Amino acid sequence: MKTAKDNIFNNIPAIIPEELFESLVERETFRIERIVSHGHTTPIGAWYDQPWDEWVLLLQGAAILAYEDGTKVKLQAGDYVLIPAQTRHRVEWTQPEAKTIWLAIHFTHS
């Protein structure tokens, strides 16, 4: 099997009109995704409510995650969080003056 090398910080457009989601690896029970935000947020009143767990690592920038129960989590580069399946959450804020780069691992239990 041939190994392909890339860099998580490569090929990020200068202008991102909408949050950028890019699948890096996909298998039956998990997906690794790069997300790039630049002042983007989840629309007011909208919630992510996924049937899988999501582990998120903030590689660059800053963000605030909000949960339906009112909890807010401030994230900076190096912080990570596990969002259990069916936990309603949203991105309340991302840094407007710089790109925020996330590494998200979505997985199910077999």
CATH of the domain at 91: 2.60.120.10
Establish if 10 belongs to a structural domain: no
Structural tokens at position 95: 């840094």
Q: Give the domain extent around 95.
A: 20-107
Task: Round to whole Å and give the CA distance between 4 and 76.
Answer: 29
Establish if 7 belongs to a structural domain: no
pLDDT tens-digit map of 24-69: 999 999 999 999 999 999 999 999 999 999 999 999 999 999 999 9
Establish if 52 belongs to a structural domain: yes
Establish if 85 belongs to a structural domain: yes
In terms of DSSP bridges, do strands 89-94 and 62-67 run parallel, antiparallel, or are they unpaired? antiparallel
Cβ(16)–Cβ(47) under 8 Å? no
- pTM for the full predicted model: 0.91
Establish if 37 belongs to a structural domain: yes
Our count of domains for the chain comes to 1
Cβ(63)–Cβ(91) under 8 Å? yes
